[in-house]
Structure 1
Amino acid sequence: MNIKLICATPIAIAAAIGLYACGGNSNSKPTLSSVKNVVVIYAENRSFDNLYGNFPGANGLQNVTTANSRQLDRDGSVLATLPPVWGGLTQAGVTPVITQAMTANLPNAPFAIDDPNGFNTGMNLTTRDLYHRFYENQMQIHGGKNDMFAAWADSGGLVMGHYTPNADKLPLYKLAQQFTLADNFFMGAFGGSFLNHQWLVCACTPFYPNANTSPASTSLSSVDADGVTLTLKSTSAASALTDVPTFVNSGTLTPDFYAVNTMQPPYQPSGNKAASGGDANLADPTNKTTLPPQTNQHIGDLLNSAGVTWAWYGGAWGDAVSAAQNNTANVIYGANLTSPNFQPHHQPFNYFADLAPGTDNRTKHLLDGGLNGSEFIKAIDAGTLPQVAFYKPQGNLNEHAGYTDVSQGDQHIADVISHLQKSPQWNNMVVIVTYDENGGFWDHVAPPKGDRWGPGTRIPAIVVSPYAKKGFVDHTQYDTTSILRFITHRFNLPTLAGLTARDNALVANGGQAMGDLTNALDIKK
């Protein structure tokens, strides 16, 4: 065979015939250094069982038993039925309308939201939102038993809902069949989007200095002596069948000043406007939900020091910046749940002082993904993506319950991947698609016991690449920080402190360190 032909063969084709471009004999494999581009696509708020519970070969709903799925009431007794879905399963204006009364007396078990014989609420319809908060998530997990999701929820029985997709209904499902689906991948931190985005970029939890004497002093959570359980109000309903639980204070901060629930960036675009007469590039620091600038080391710092190019592409970022400058942010931020429904707390690098407005760091690395990902797709098609690229879809395309549906976001991400597969950079690319957190949805697998911050509930993750194992379900233990581990391993970066602390905690609790996603790749190790 002509050696020039071998060297010119795209790696996906070469691999299929047992050859690797300029790689020598048929037994050779590419190494991790062959990966030139890492793309991370970060969707929203779905547990593994919620979307991939019926995936063949995965640890899914076929492994669910009464013992590992039945939900307990707040006093520890077994619930006779699931609580009703408080406020109804679908939102006002959504057809079909599934009212609260229609959800009464559901069996105490997982159920298919899209069952034609049940609610028949497909993946193209928006359900109501669910609790996804730091302490509540731990209370739902209940030491790994996962049996108090309904007890500590504001959405009642909806927590036990899942979908029954297949490759015809869900484009990413088809990609998961073709490439690698990780079925033992957990969200990096307990709770919601804000904290898990921080763990995606720094494996750290933000801190609010002197919060007890700050505008955020009323945001300190009231927590019992175990450090996990929120303190209930004396008037809180005793049973999950009666009403939603009420707490003394489920705040944005821990009692020792760590930010664990949604706080807004100190820089625009932020969910908080600038102070009257203040710098228009800043969020009002006197607003109790404005987080002071953070100084923890993040993955961008390490990539900069190593000379590795990188960028965060925020969907609708450019429009959000413009809206903040023109004081029309209520529109771009989805005050009326309008497209694109940009969420400032999904932009983690906008919290860090070294990426403040006016810095060269910001100009180079916080880039506009464009409406509907248009600017990100332009870079893909032109083959000009940096070595490490993060892409955050805009709000109406991220699959978050409460303000969008599964189908739109799933199709969007599949479309982006289609562009990536045609990109000049594809032959040496690894794409990681995952979700920031479970969105309050139940999953039957116990998270490994780690540190104070996580890991939390299991979520889907798909690795798409010419190097990915084909048709493979990866059972390796991973969490959100595994993405940082992969980037660190590939580019020989120093290890972020949070990664070491997480592994030490896992091992101290009798477990194992987190994987770095290389087991999803067919490479020489």
Structure 2
Amino acid sequence: MTRIPARTFAAALVAALAGCSQQPTSLTRAGLEKIDHIIVIYAENRSFDNLYGLFPGANGIANATPAQYTQIDNDGKPLPYLPPVWKGRDPDPAFPRNLPNKPFRIDAPPINLPLSVATRDLIHKFYPQQEQIDGGKNDRFAAVSDAGGLVMGYYDGSKLPLWKWAQEYTLADNFFMGAFGDSYLNHFWLVCACTPTDPGVPAVQRAQLDSRGWLKRKPESPASALDGPAVFVAGDYSPDGYSLTTAQPGWQPSRTPPAKGGDPRFADPSIHTTPPQTAKTIGDTLSAKHISWVWYAGAWNEALRDGMQDPAAPRQVIYNTAKDSPNFVVHHQPFNYFARFAPGTRDREEHLKDYADLVAAIDKGELPQVAFYKPQGSLNEHPGYADVLSGDIHIAELVTRIRASTLWKSTAIIITYDENGGFWDHVPPPPGDRWGPGVRVPAIIISPYARRGFVDHTQYDTTSILRLITRRYGLEPLPGVRSAMGDLTAAFDFSQ
């Protein structure tokens, strides 16, 4: 008789029970009909442990074993201490050297950086993240990161407004980002559970991988993570022509300006941009069933005007991190890459709108049945150009506004983060497919029907949001959605 290891059996049992909790029932179907509005708020770049690792009742940092947090060097041996926090190629003098090889508080001595202060950005790319995960061991985050030991940093998030909402309603502590890598790809996975294609990209820009499927390093890359951050070859496109990171759309808003004397709504055609995408999105399936929906973006109207300026004019809004700029981030706008939403189309006018339109719709009680909201860059919590606290306050104020509106009694709000931002998390991602899922991220479910004071351990990923929307409105399922992931209904109690 074959003996099943206890850990394997326990994992299988948990997965089986989670699957049972997701089986359709007449009670759940009737309950879902009480929800007339689903609002998805998509913040930026935080692993679960980075913000909610100290949340009571959650699978947090206290549960991490030495095997789950000990970081290894490029030679596979444990690091004697964490690499420096890098500032370029040199250690950042603002951070102490030789931090112990384990998680540490960013907002406590000896670092004392509060949630109101932005840290530097950290690498969070498609291929490097897979190396960081290292088959589920999560032990190469520090060695791969261009930020060195910062990847192991976390906060006490208990003073955050959204923490309070999570305490009152439901926090999902087993929710994973849909795809490996960065925001660009994970925004596609939110709306289509798909990866954009760019078959014409030159071979020189396509990734070169080693026998493990990891991105090759350049000859000058240091032998040890203690001597400097890794230096990789190009990895923005897969060898077979998938676009994996921060490419630009062929129309405004775009980092690519319009051509001199050309149609200002479009990017300069002489500069390579992502070709218009044609995969089916959740927008397509919603529209096919005549379900109203809108993607709202902070500073959308300003960015449209900014993008249509003379190409020689400096951008005031798009990718502008100046203190007085909203910092509109183009690659956080997935529908703007699809042919169906090109300039001049009816779908663009109906479905891509500004944050001010969202506020007006809430106040009038006229919100569409499905609403996505992407905060502007200065309020999205992204390391490097935004702090955590400002964005958290902004989102919490929006939730408060919704709860005070006439919409509240029939609304479900899902707040999550597009990806981990390069930060470590101790929970290994579940098996998936070529594209993900990636690292665990926070997710909060708020509704009159959400379970109260509940930590939901059901296994989810970003495509679970699509599963919930699809199930509620009887839509055609998108092919990339992972059926092994829950559909978020375990977070609700419709008997309330």
Shared fold (TM-score, shorter chain, > 0.5) = yes
Q: In the TM superposition, what whole-angstrom CA distance separates every residue of 1:175-198 from its partner, at most 9, and x where no partner exists?
A: 000000000000000000000000
Of 121, 143, 146, the residue aligned with 1:151 is 143
The change in CA–CA distance for 1:389 and 1:29 in structure 2 (over 3 A counts) is closer
**Structure 1 residues 271-296: Cα deviation after superposition (integer angstroms, max 9, x where no partner):** 111233332111224334x1010000
CA shift at 1:330, angstroms?
1.8
Structure 1 residues 54 and 28, CA, compared in 2 at 3 Å: closer, same or farther? Answer: closer
Q: Is the 8 A contact 1:315 1:394 kept in 2?
A: yes
Aligned position for 2:49? 49
What does residue 343 of structure 1 align with? 329
2:255–2:319 CA contact under 8 A, matched in 1: no
* Closer, same or farther: CA 242–377 of 1 in aligned 2, 3 Å: same
**Which of 172, 179, 182 is matched with 2:162 structurally?**
172
- The Cα shift of 1:336 comes to 4.2
> What does the per-residue CA deviation read over 1:121-147, in whole Å, with 9 as the maximum and x for residues that have no partner?
000001000001100111100000000
* Cα distance in 1 for residues equivalent to 2:343 and 2:94: 50
Report the 3-state secondary structure (helix = DSSP H, G, I; strand = E; otherwise coil) of the residue aligned with 1:303. Answer: helix
CA distance in 2, matches of 1:29, 1:347: 32
* Counterparts of 2:75 and 2:267, CA distance in 1: 43
CA RMSD of aligned residues (A): 1.9
User: Post-superposition shift, 1:66?
Assistant: 1.3
Which residue of structure 2 lines up, in the alignment, with residue 278 of structure 1?
262
1:311 is aligned to 2:294? yes
Distance 2:412 2:431 in 1: 29
Equivalent residues of 1:140, 1:149 under 8 A apart: yes
Q: Secondary structure at the match of 1:254?
A: coil
Instruction: Quote the offset at 1:249 in angstroms.
Output: 2.0
Q: Which residue of 1 aligns with 2:111?
A: 119
Match of 2:216 among 231, 238, 248: 231
Matched, 1:189 2:179: yes
Matched, 1:218 2:189: no
Deviation per residue, 1:197-249 (Å, 9 max, x gap): 0000000000012323xxxx4321121233x3011122210100001111232
Secondary structure of 1:138's counterpart equals helix
For residues 130 and 100 of structure 1, the distance between their equivalents in structure 2, rounded to whole angstroms, comes to 17
Residue 29 of structure 1: CA displacement?
Answer: 11
Q: CA offsets, 1:9-67, max 9 Å, x none?
A: xxxxxxxxxxxxxxxxxx99961111100000000000000000000000001101211
2:208 corresponds to which letter in structure 1? Answer: S
Inter-CA distance 41–28: structure 2 relative to 1 (3 Å threshold): closer
Structure 1 residues 415-454: Cα deviation after superposition (integer angstroms, max 9, x where no partner):
0000000111110000000000000000000000100000
Structure 1 contact 84–101 (Cα < 8 Å) conserved: no
Q: Is the 8 A contact 1:381 1:422 kept in 2?
A: no
Give the Cα–Cα distance (whole angstroms) in 2 for the partners of residues 415 and 142 of structure 1: 39
AA aligned opposite 1:184: N
CA distance in 2, matches of 1:389, 1:448: 28
Q: Distance in 2 between matches of 1:329 and 1:421?
A: 40
The structure-2 alpha-carbon separation of the partners of 1:305 and 1:87, relative to structure 1 and needing over 3 Å to count, comes to: same
> How many equivalent pairs are there?
466
Q: Which residue, out of 227, 250, 253, partners 1:269?
A: 253
Letter in 2 for 1:65: T
Q: Which moved more, 1:62-71 or 1:39-48?
A: 62-71
Corresponding position: 1:458 with 2:440:
yes
2:375 to 373, 380, 393: 393
Q: Aligned pair 1:431/2:413, yes or no?
A: yes
Cα deviation 1:129-181 (Å, max 9, x = unaligned): 00011001111000000000001000000000000121xx2000000000000
Displacement of 1:516 in angstroms is 0.4
Q: Which residue of 2 aligns with 1:476?
A: 458
What residue in structure 2 maps to residue 24 of structure 1? none
* Residue 80 of structure 1: aligned partner: 80
Distance 1:491 1:82, change over 3 A: same
Residues 199 and 240 of structure 2 are in contact (CA less than 8 Å); yes or no, is this contact kept in structure 1? no
**How much identity, in percent, do the aligned residues show?**
55
Cα distance in structure 2, aligned partners of 1:480 and 1:149: 22
Shift of 1:497: 0.9
User: What runs of 5+ residues in structure 2 fail to find an aligned partner?
Assistant: 1-26
The Cα offsets for residues 394-432 of structure 1, whole Å up to 9 and x where unpaired, read as 000000000010000000000000000011111000000
Separation in structure 1 between the aligned mates of residue 314 and residue 184 of structure 2, nearest angstrom: 19
Task: Flag the 1:152–1:521 CA change in 2: closer, same or farther, 3 A.
Answer: same
The 2-side partners of 1:236 and 1:357 are apart by: 44
TM superposition shift of 1:324: 1.3
Corresponding residue for residue 405 of structure 1: 387
1:362-373 matched pairs, under 5 angstroms? 362-370=348-356
Q: Give the whole-Å Cα distance in 1 for the aligned partners of 2:271 and 2:440.
A: 34
| Contact in 1 for aligned 2:41/2:415 (Cα 8 Å) | yes
Match of 1:19 in 2: none
8 A contact 2:45–2:422 mirrored in 1: yes
Aligned AA (2:55) = F
| 1:355 pairs with 2:347 | no
Change in 2 beyond 3 A, CA 1:479/1:80: same
Q: What is the identity, as a one-letter code, of the residue corresponding to 1:225?
A: S
Q: Who is 2:35 aligned against?
A: 35
> Residues 28 and 319 (structure 1 numbering): CA distance in 2 closer, same or farther, change over 3 Å?
closer
The 8 Å contact of residues 43 and 436 in structure 1, kept in 2 or not, is answered as yes
